[in-house]
Amino acid sequence: MTTSSTQYGPDAVFDNLIGGARVPSDDRSTNTNPSDPSDVIGRYARADAATVASAIDAARAAAPAWVDLGSQQRFAILDKAGSLIAERADELGDLLAREEGKQLAEAEGEVLRASQIFKFFAGETIRNTGEVVDSVRPGLMAEMTHEPIGVIGIITPWNFPIAIPAWKIAPALAFGNTIVFKPAELVPASAYALVDILAEAGLPDGVLNLVMGPGSVVGDALTTSAKVDAVTFTGSVAVGRSVIASAAAHQIRVQCEMGGKNPLVVLGDADLEPAAEAAINGAFFSTGQRCTASSRLIVTSDVHDEFVALLKEKMAALTVGDARAEGVAIGPVVSRTQLDQDLDYIAKARVEGGEVTGGELIDSDTEGYFLAPALVTGTKPGDTINVEEVFGPVASVIEVADYNEALAVANDTEFGLSAGIFTTSLKYSTHFKRYADAGMVMVNAPTAGVDYHVSFGGRKGSSYGPREQARAAREFFTVHKTTYTNAG
């Protein structure tokens, strides 16, 4: 297979990839374009439990040779994969936008980030350092090293269909693990293209196996197999908690990223223009479908009305439409199911007393899932719109008296992924960085957006297990070993 978009269409059939071979299935899902559901991208195999078991066996069989291949060879494969992804950024970006509905420039940016991630972890293959110390017992030398875990089950969401697989697959491979990869059922094309590129980069057969299909089948098979050593998952809180419980019951190491209800605080001393731009970016770009979205805008009373008026002015200038069309800022919601969920939350916000600006369906020449960004004002911290993750182009505004109330409201959530503040006060920005109960804190910047070379993760209900990305990834994808040598 190639990654050219001309290879996709209603007659295109894609199989699971196990041990370097295509594994067909009679059961297939039809992958469509959320900008135009009549546009079929392809028909993708759905794995059953037996297929997953064979993928796990293939990964275990490939593990010894992959570990013994050596860091320089792993470096070369990951580095080449990064180069191939960058070379095909236009093609992959177009595919991503067509499949997931992300606006084209954002889609291309995601592809380039995936390239950077593979390049970064190529370097980590030769930086997997340990530690050597003298033992407290004479004549002994102690060495502490990091070794691969073994077989990793990787379960990824639909909202970043290339970047999130990249930041799980790249470190898993860099540190010598083999993989069974299950992408979200809504976005199999991006996953297939990524696996295809890694094969072209020289990845040996069986090191990375792709099994597509529903989480209730494929995910369960991964998290209950005695032959899987670890599972890394990104997705909803409900599914994440079930993954944690299942993995714990089977003594499988687990890492979960499970969403957020991220606050962006705007104080009276803030520069409102960049604050509004950051709020628009964080709340509505990527159609609001990112776990770091600025879904709660917490604004002090002295600038509340001015800030809300500025937000509405900027919202009116946003163009919603086909993700690949010129001039479009926001693409469609990813699916009809997700669109219905967004509309339900908007309706509930009205019932609970919120005033909604926007949030209407947008007519188009296709049956695309187009929703105007929605801003809900006049809300209370305990309103449903401020408690539950919507995962759509919907933001709420909470008016507060001062910084102290803003911080309290910001932390009043079961989530703790990202938090932001706009202020020109060194006092308040310093205090917020220390006391915001989140894994990532932004000062005078959007809550969404983390560099590829820094760690990613949250607190409370947002995350479970070691951090993702950057050098922190080694803590999950390796196991520690201590050895002693008596030189005699």
Catalytic residues, by residue number, are 257, 291
> CB under 8 Å to 224, separation ≥6 — which residues?
246, 249, 250
The runs of H, that is alpha helices, within 88-151 are 89-100, 104-124
The runs of H, that is alpha helices, within 186-271 are 188-200, 220-223, 237-249
Cα–Cα distance for residue pair 96/324, rounded to 1 Å = 10
Do 59 and 209 contact (CB within 8 A), yes or no? yes
Residue whose C-alpha is closest to residue 19's, from 217, 197, 199? 199
First to last CA, the chain: 57
Cα–Cα distance for residue pair 103/450, rounded to 1 Å = 19
Cα–Cα distance for residue pair 44/188, rounded to 1 Å = 7
- What tokens appear for 478 in the block? 């390796």
Cα–Cα distance for residue pair 229/147, rounded to 1 Å = 13
Range 378-382 contact pairs with CB under 8 angstroms and sequence separation of 24 or more: 378/353, 378/354, 379/349, 379/352, 379/353, 379/354, 380/352, 380/353, 381/409, 381/412
Q: Give the H/E segment covering residue 420.
A: strand 418-422
Cα–Cα distance for residue pair 108/434, rounded to 1 Å = 35
Do 439 and 417 contact (CB within 8 A), yes or no? yes
- What tokens appear for 424 in the block? 């020109």
Do 125 and 469 contact (CB within 8 A), yes or no? no
Do 99 and 31 contact (CB within 8 A), yes or no? yes
Cα–Cα distance for residue pair 312/329, rounded to 1 Å = 15
The string of DSSP codes covering 348-388 is HHHHTTPEEEE--B---SS----B--EEEES--TTSHHHHS
